[in-house]
Structure 1
Amino acid sequence: MPGTTNPQLRPGTPDDLPQLTALYNHYVTQTPVTFDTVAFSPEQRQTWLSHYADHGPHRLLVAEETGGEDGGEGGGRLLGYATSSPFRPKPAYATSVETTVYVAPGAGGRGVGTLLYEGLFAALAGEDVHRAYAGVTLPNEASVRLHERFGFRRCGVFGQTGRKFGRYWDVAFYEKPLG
């Protein structure tokens, strides 16, 4: 990546919240990828951030631009993030997670999403997680390719699931065995 040497993966921290929020807001205001329709402030995203830990099934990993050979941690530009979140709130779903990847504008097509998913699934390997699920707003060929490359299979498509930017969007659902 221009200006980047070896993007580093690490758990997200509260210090990342302004960049995480700005990155997500790009998708909120510019794309149908998320069905949120109003941009957030970092303060509004604090509860979202509090759901993640550096252990357990619910993770937040960030890919950070390092700019130097030695890497380093903190203070760099975030190139993207990946999460594993509760799939549904009922107890029987505890061994299922929903995964997401968001790549910063200008960082797409450079392996950031792959790096994030490699790290996320490596982190989940030791956890009591049986299935990962992902929803992909269609069309989104880059996301479809990423999920299929990681062994997700399409389970189905919900037609015209959400309305954004004056039109309805379909959402494809994918699943991946983990345990």
Structure 2
Amino acid sequence: MIRDATPADAAALAGIYNHYIRDTTVTFEEAAVSEAEMASRIAEVRSAGLPWLVAEDEAGVVLGHAYASKWKGRCAYRFAVETTVYLDATAHGRGLGRQLYERLLAMLREAGMHVAIGGIALPNPASIALHEKLGFRKVGQFEEVGFKLGRWVDVGYWQVML
């Protein structure tokens, strides 16, 4: 089931996200996120009128989440969003990322957004494939803009017109 995130999801979402902080270069954050911080992030996204979705199994266990955030703070960027999806390490390969992203993109279209942008720490063939299946196309790449887990990391940007 895919539904809107609530503050009650914060602990589960932090648990999912903290794996990516600790063990991957997918995010450039380096310190674990607390439940309170995750609840604050959910509230910030929701107060901006943007969606934050969760996927859960039949037992109500949260398996992943996707959300949109403002691309930049300047007014002229108000129709552009950055999109993000994270899955529990045990939930890959089930199509949940695609389901979350499809619902997120549909909601963004309905809300009148014009473009969705995905930033991908490289290499990440699975994320690239997901974005491109959903119509995103690569529009740029910054070289060695992040340093994590002892190495320099490039970031590519994909976008889709909504």
TM-score scaled by structure 1? Answer: 0.87
In the alignment, does 2:68 pair up with 1:64? no
Gaps of 5+ in 2: none
Task: Report the AA paired with residue 109 of structure 2.
Answer: A
Superposed counterparts of 1:84-163, under 5 Å: 84-163=68-147
Aligned to 1:176: 160
The Cα offsets for residues 124-156 of structure 1, whole Å up to 9 and x where unpaired, read as 221121100010001111100000001000011
On the 8 A contact 1:11/1:54 being kept in 2, the answer is: no
Rg larger in structure: 1
Aligned to 2:20: 27
Once the two structures are TM-superposed, the CA of residue 36 in structure 1 deviates from its matched residue by 0.1
Coordinate RMSD, CA, aligned: 1.4
Q: What SS does structure 2 have at the residue aligned with 1:66? A: coil
Q: What SS does structure 1 have at the residue aligned with 2:19? A: helix
Which of 148, 154, 158 lines up with 1:164 in the alignment? 148
Q: What SS does structure 2 have at the residue aligned with 1:125? A: helix
Q: 1:121 to 1:81 in 2, by over 3 A?
A: same
Task: Report the AA paired with residue 82 of structure 1.
Answer: A
Aligned residues: 162
Once the two structures are TM-superposed, the CA of residue 177 in structure 1 deviates from its matched residue by 0.2
Gaps of 5+ in 1: 1-7, 68-75
Once the two structures are TM-superposed, the CA of residue 55 in structure 1 deviates from its matched residue by 9.1
On the 8 A contact 1:162/1:169 being kept in 2, the answer is: yes
Q: 1:164 to 1:89 in 2, by over 3 A?
A: same
On the 8 A contact 2:115/2:159 being kept in 1, the answer is: yes
TM-score scaled by structure 2? Answer: 0.96
- Cα distance in 2 for partners of 1:81, 1:61 equals 5
**Share of identical aligned residues, percent?**
41
Q: What SS does structure 2 have at the residue aligned with 1:110? A: coil
Task: Report the AA paired with residue 72 of structure 2.
Answer: R
On the 8 A contact 2:11/2:38 being kept in 1, the answer is: no
- Cα distance in 2 for partners of 1:166, 1:107 equals 27
- Cα distance in 2 for partners of 1:60, 1:133 equals 15
